[in-house]
Structure 1
Amino acid sequence: MLSKKTQYAFHALIHLAERADQGPVLISEIAQEKNISIKFLENILLELKNAGMLGSKKGKGGGYYLLKPPKEIALAKIIRLLDGPIALLPCVSLNYYERCENCRDEAVCGLHEVMSKVRDASLKLLENKSLKDILTKNVPIPKLG
């Protein structure tokens, strides 16, 4: 399950992508529009900036902006950065491998075999889908009244 932190990161990235042609976006605008605590959002955006996904500009006309086009920001990279492993078990993780405490032999563990296939299917999808793929599905809902 995606953490709230990662879900908020996706909402913020979508907001930045939608306004990419308007220059840097103030953190307060993103927080208000997406209903996210400014303090929490600051930490998320700083992590994304340190990972090379975002840039920032200080002063008048400042804010955050995407450093790469949305099609070049893989969903898997965002999830790994903020939530860690994509695999459901540590023994099948490619980047965060740990041997399971209660497993005698991974080679004959049926759960290990199935979870490896789940990991492979998830990675195939998440590494080939980008911010652009979720951006095109994020159509604004018209306000009533």
Structure 2
Amino acid sequence: MLTKKGKYGLKALVDLAQLNPGETAFITEIATRNNIPKKFLDAILLELRNAGILRSKKGPGGGYSLSRPASEIHIGQVIRTLDGPLAPIRCASRTAFEVCEDCADPERCEVRRSMTDVRDAIASILDNMTLEQFVENDGNFSAAPTARVPQSAHTA
């Protein structure tokens, strides 16, 4: 599930993607326009800056801006930066894999296998959608490139 942190981060990035080239925005402006608590937004934008998604400038004419074109920022990277792995459970994660306490054999676990398919479908959509597409489609994921859902996800 997308957390408030992830949602607010996406809203802030959409806001910044709509600026003219060379323009910046102050945190207070972004927070006010998007109804995001400023203190929370401070922490979110710092994480996005540290991940190389945003850049910041101090002083007159300062503020935040995208570090590269919106066409080069993928939604999957943003969500992973703010919310962590996309997998719905740890045993299905590629980057934060943990065996479940009640699982004798993760390789034969049907729950893990199904959740791995879910992870792959989510990643396919988010990793193929850029911030530019997200803005152009008003955040409509159904307008994103079609995700290829693994065949095992369609079986009962």
- Is 1:73 matched up with 2:90? no
- 1:119 deviates by 1.1
1:34-60 superposed Cα distances (whole Å, 9 cap, x missing partner): 011111111110110011111111111
For residue 135 of structure 1, what is the aligned residue in structure 2? 135
For residue 113 of structure 2, what is the aligned residue in structure 1? 113
- 1:21 deviates by 2.3
Relative to the length of structure 2, the TM-score reads 0.85
Within 2, Cα distance between the matches of 1:20 and 1:111? 47
1:24-79 superposed Cα distances (whole Å, 9 cap, x missing partner): 11111101100111111111101100111111111111100001111111111111
Change over 3 Å in CA distance of 1:66–1:20 after alignment to 2: farther
Aligned length in residues: 139
- 1:20 deviates by 3.7
- Is 1:10 matched up with 2:4? no
3-state SS of 1:96 partner: coil
- 1:10 deviates by 0.3
Within 1, Cα distance between the matches of 2:110 and 2:126? 24
For residue 26 of structure 2, what is the aligned residue in structure 1? 26
Q: Which runs of 5+ in 2 are unaligned?
A: 140-156
Q: Which runs of 5+ in 1 are unaligned?
A: 140-145
- Is 1:47 matched up with 2:44? no
Relative to the length of structure 1, the TM-score reads 0.91
- 1:22 deviates by 5.3
Q: Which amino acid aligns with 2:128?
A: N
Within 1, Cα distance between the matches of 2:71 and 2:103? 40
Within 2, Cα distance between the matches of 1:130 and 1:52? 15
Q: Which amino acid aligns with 2:15?
A: H
Within 1, Cα distance between the matches of 2:17 and 2:113? 38
- Is 1:95 matched up with 2:95? yes
Q: Which runs of 4+ in 1 moved over 2 A?
A: none
Q: Which amino acid aligns with 1:103?
A: C
1:75-120 superposed Cα distances (whole Å, 9 cap, x missing partner): 1111111111100111110011111111111122111111111111
- 1:12 deviates by 0.3
